[in-house]
Structure 1
């Protein structure tokens, strides 16, 4: 900043400390350096500090572009060499085959016909045209891989938060929000790649285990989805709901039987709807041979359906209370049902009749599982017990007791060694079938554990709970290795770093989640606010996250977990705007209270307060040298503030509210989203409008450059915002 004076003596400054935001002369520089506080000293030159930063940033950007161009050339060359190698081997192989044949002839006696053929025929090199680089290949290497052009102002389009969320979800093949209500069922594919969950929110969601990300939402049920099961060939998901229907979904595109197709609506995934019961469908199972579906309902009925024809085969009206659990044995011989009437009833499929009743639970039966050999049944109940039954002897063998509250789910490993149970006491317990004792506890859920399934290799248990999360547990290590969850309500704020590597989303449920856009995976999940998230900021390296909320506080998270999280309090209203300096030393915050506050992260205190706006502060941005703040407000003004002098330096007045803004690296232009769908470009020195784009029907918080590319950040001038 040319012409700035020393903070201490008012002489001409030659240096600036970016941590303290102080200009210093040579004398006071020496005194400043010997203080115990950290420093970030930079020498001022004849150019402005801002121009110097722009110059250095531009050089660094150009070096990166050159390296990318080199990488592209090397990558293409490597691909070509591989293809040439393959073609070479294909050409050489028949020659080697003939050569081998001739060598073989030299070592053995040949019949007259072979000798006659060899001696009477000629053998010579064919006239082969020499290979040369084709025009397409040589054209690639003759291209100008970098180009320098005059910066041009681009057209813009508005994106609402919902539109931006949808764009990110389509581009990255992931869903940002999660279940909005209780998780009632989970199932996992045989290859352990995907988890399916169903919920009280009436949706079915598909999660990638490898990416730990939700990739699809299936909608069709009109009321809570109570249960879900997958067919053994991974082609279909079958769900039961409070809307009294059973629905069959074609899931093969995500489970290997078909390639992933373009975005389609849920009804195209829906294979069939069966009007199943007179009341809610509470439980469901499908036979291993894909011949039968069995369902249990609040109408006390158990029904057997033909999977292929989707027609009712028979029903069993033997329970006196709702049926909470059903299964078909692995040998496809028996249907077993458990009810709130405390009984377990065993039905013979072939004879279409009830075989016998198992009694022992003193309260309702809530869950069932059967061993692979179909000889042993496991049941869990509201009496807090897990009971083991011998199906051949038709008798109870022993009881597991350990849970403090009712059992919600049980499952057994395919080798019949271990049982895993889930309970309303928020825990999963592991039981050894051979030694008949509890051998482990899995803790991590914060509400009722309601559903459990196992991967086919028996290594991992997957549980769904009323805390709206799905945990993946390493059974041997006895610990949670991943949590599958998203925002529980709609997303209210989105922030993307300059390099488009990281995404942060904030929700009305007061949670904040960070995502890696390069590998399309979630990184961390925070819920420390008490009210909806309204503003976010994240350092370009993804290490420091800042969130502002309706609860009037600012929360600072160290994403590496090295330093303690910080909470700043001071605003009298919701925090609606945030910005972070490039060296992550200061945070600027704007609020409904019409003020802008600057917070020192090193000293953990408020450094400066600006209060010239007459309306809510909606957006903030730092200059490239971190010495100025630009703010926009619903009062229709854009204001420029000097951090060094703690004063307002410039005001641009408009009649329309300002919703978002971006500044160019040279600090000459401001681009802002204003009023009802307009983007305006101002010259910061003259305050004149250079150009105005659009006149849409609704205001928005995001600007996006056209043509749309594979990035979602706000670009002001050809990528230099």
Structure 2
């Protein structure tokens, strides 16, 4: 019951800009969530909160403590990164084109349509109005696309779609209210980036670079009114001849920013071109310390150039799709690239020409997932990284199955093959085929791993192979519809299959007797699962019901009516409200808990339901996402979005020139989806395609439209098989309590990680022994112990006793730190 969101896998990047804080932490948006990747430890985590739609812009404070995110609905969240909490929220009236923190961290520049708004940055102090609008610049004639701050946080470079870059000053002086911003002109396409350049010696602003979408970069140099130019880096200065004069000039420029607007003028030095026509320049970044610029193009090519001489250091291709983000880290030795359409996220060290991070998500929806027997692998995961990708299948992969040995993974596909993968050598060591091409949609293996079975979509048959030889042993016929569910009994060699022909059949595969039992239903059967003890069989039907059968006696035990539980969410194409429409709401995936008392069910809805099997009661509903960029999330649609031509979100705008990288791909249901389901030509439909509970029972995963969601009972996995031995059992804990050994009993219960046993051992300790017991508990278990105290405080009558435990434990943790 106490499952909480832990991570989002299978979609490392979907669009928007990425940033690196503290030189090693990569922050990237994933749909309506934020992912943080530690590039040194090779670990990734997803922040637990969600935005109302896909996040398109992010910015971090210079100290790396705060993060500002803006989604497609123009709603912003101000986040404390170390605490992983949302501090404040703010809504903007128009689309946000860019967000930037000032170098001193006191201000936030936000491009809202044609305006540039300067907001004061909230801090740790409590304020009634955390966001204060300091100033608004309204001189641009079209949407603002990029912003850059000067190092002293006093001036801004603002590029827009009107082909110009403007120089603004934040702090006004007397007589400056009527002055107009300086304009950098000459570009023939939309401005993609504008950057201040600084002198390496004095750190003063002495140059500006402007980059446009047609692949042009203009270099501008500051020139004083008296005709003496400020020398650019790399040119011989006259410090030995008239050093005092040069020092004075540099001090004027290094002042408060006034000289950048009023004491001189900007001169166009030269124009350079990246020569990638017809590709468009889609992203760029400039590193002031190393004076290098990185650019990405719509054809997947990126370039690294040394400025101001425009020397090409690298020009490489990473994909064939548009590069939607390209950024430096603080030091400048790492480059981050993102490709939204491919779900690709790369971190590249340009000096050694090696990858620091190379992750790519699934191009389409995740169809199926599988846990390894030790719960450490999820055909992706304990660190959240994809460490191997198998790409031999030529069509959609529809089923996965881990062998009991934990060293082999099976996969079935619509390309007519079942493949076995070696997880030591990462290769396809065996391929199972049929005499004529078939499309496989289900997969199972017996406990010994000797027999492999796969159900088909087109011929309605079940094929049986030998794992050792790869030979086809038998073909099981009898179903009259696609065989979408297969599973062997955990206790014997009986195979259960479910089909759209409204039946569940049991097969004796080894004796060759064919079908030994048939369970009839009134609607199409979508999936079938065995309880871990093999004494119960659960299957879901198209009418939204879950049926529980006794496979030994062939009797129907229970039926759960789940259509009302899974209902919720109205599609754009629905003609009825969500409250009155339950058609098509059904469970397509089921998974028993480790003890068989509960069952998880998910399907064509935003909800995943957890039921108590014995009482047929809904215990909890998990809403997989709040992302309004998906279809089926809202119960009530906004009438403002309805036009004469239909819903506004379903109208294609082929003339749109939006290049922010958030590609709204049309997701069409594949050929093996439910019969009668209609493709949504607008946004992706929220749904759950596969559910799996880990064999340990401490976590479960769901393959959804958003990616692979992982829920866990703990923030981190305390269950450690290497910390268990034959003596760590509930009986040993009871024996330690009987022998008046509370310390040993508590440590054993923490190693076993059973809630009821931990609470029992805590209550058994005498108040005078609390200090001694806590001192003997290993540090790695103290966090788990504190979580148990929090649960006991809710319903335990011994309040003072539990508070004493808390006081001693916290003091002990403080002394260890």
Query: Which of 570, 594, 597 is the equivalent residue of 2:460?
Result: 594
Cα deviation 1:279-299 (Å, max 9, x = unaligned):
x221121202222222224x4
Q: Which residue of 1 aligns with 2:297?
A: 423
Relative to structure 1, the CA distance from residue 526 to residue 229 in structure 2 (aligned partners, 3 Å threshold; closer, same or farther) is farther
CA distance in 2, matches of 1:540, 1:520: 23
Counterpart-to-counterpart distance in 2, 1:620 and 1:231:
52
Q: How does 1:64-75 map to 2 (within 5 A)?
A: none
Q: Tell me by how many angstroms 1:342 deviates.
A: 2.0
1:499·1:540 contact (CA, 8 Å) conserved in 2?
no
- Aligned 1:482-631 pairs, distance under 5 A: 482-487=357-362, 491-503=366-378, 514-517=379-382, 519-525=383-389, 533-540=397-404, 543-549=407-413, 554=418, 557-559=421-423, 560-563=425-428, 566=431, 568=433, 575-580=440-445, 587-592=452-457, 593-599=459-465, 606-622=472-488, 629-631=495-497
Compute the TM-score of the two structures, normalised by the length of structure 1. 0.61
1:474 aligns with 2:349: yes
User: Cα offset for 1:348?
Assistant: 1.5
- Tell me, yes or no, if the aligned pair for 2:373 and 2:406 is still in contact at 8 Å: no
- Return the match for 1:190 from 19, 22, 26: 22
Query: Is contact 2:374-2:406 (8 Å) kept?
Result: no
Quick one: distance in 1 between partners of 2:155 and 2:432?
A: 59
1:438 aligns with 2:312: yes
Is the aligned partner of 1:178 residue 2:11?
Answer: yes
Alpha-carbon distance between aligned partners in 2 of 1:375 and 1:565, rounded to the nearest angstrom: 64
Do the aligned residues in 2 keep the contact of 1:246 with 1:276 (CA within 8 Å)? no
Deviation, 1:346, is 0.9
Q: What is the alpha-carbon distance in structure 1 between the residues aligned to residue 75 and residue 521 of structure 2?
A: 56
Unaligned runs of 5+ in 2: 123-129, 224-229, 231-265, 564-586, 599-696, 703-729, 731-817
Partner of 1:306: 120
What is the DSSP-based 3-state SS (H/G/I as helix, E as strand, rest coil) of the residue aligned with 2:217? strand
Structure having the higher Rg: 1
Post-superposition offset of 1:471: 1.6
Q: Is the 8 A contact 1:385 1:406 kept in 2?
A: no
Deviation string, structure 1 residues 585-644 (Cα, Å, up to 9, x no partner): 75321123421113466766644321123443233345789977554445433322335x
Is 1:272 aligned with 2:93?
no
Relative distance call for 1:621 and 1:442 in structure 2 (3 A) is same
Q: Among 283, 286, 289, which residue is 2:101 paired with?
A: 286
**Aligned equivalent of 1:345:** 166
Quote the Cα distance in structure 2 between the aligned partners of 1:448 and 1:428: 10
For the residues of structure 2 that align with 1:638 and 1:567, how far apart are their CA atoms?
23
1:223-247 deviation per Cα after TM superposition (whole angstroms, max 9, x unaligned)? x54422111122322234553x361
Which of residues 303, 322, 344 in structure 1 aligns to 2:143? 322
Equivalent position of 2:63 in the other structure: 233
Q: Is the 8 A contact 1:598 1:606 kept in 2?
A: yes
Aligned mates of 1:208, 1:547 — CA distance in 2: 29
**C-alpha distance after superposition, 1:347-405 (max 9, x if no partner):** 11123654422224232211233346444433321221233333566234442524442
What is the RMSD of the two structures over their aligned residues, measured on CA atoms?
3.9
Shift of 1:178: 2.6
Shift in alpha-carbon separation, 1:575–1:359, aligned structure 2, 3 A: same
Q: Normalized against structure 2, the TM-score is what? A: 0.55
* 1:81-92 paired onto structure 2 within 5 Å: none
Residues 386-397 of structure 1: matches in 2 within 5 Å?
Answer: 386-391=217-222, 394-397=266-269
Do the aligned partners of 1:212 and 1:482 also contact (CA within 8 Å) in 2? Answer: no
**Separation in structure 2 between the aligned mates of residue 544 and residue 446 of structure 1, nearest angstrom:** 33
Provide closer, same or farther for how the CA distance between residues 301 and 391 of structure 1 changes in structure 2, counting only shifts above 3 A: farther
Whether the aligned pair in 2 keeps the contact of 1:619 and 1:659 (CA below 8 Å) is: yes
In structure 2, the residue matched to 1:116 is none
Identify unmatched segments of 5+ residues in structure 1: 1-156, 158-165, 261-267, 504-513
Residue 214 (structure 1) shift: 4.8
User: Cα offset for 1:661?
Assistant: 3.1
Alpha carbons 2:51, 2:71 under 8 Å: kept: no
Structure 1 pair 588/469, CA: closer, same or farther in 2 (3 Å)?
A: same
Contact 1:213 1:484 (8 Å CA) reproduced: no
Alignment-derived partner of residue 457 in structure 1: 331
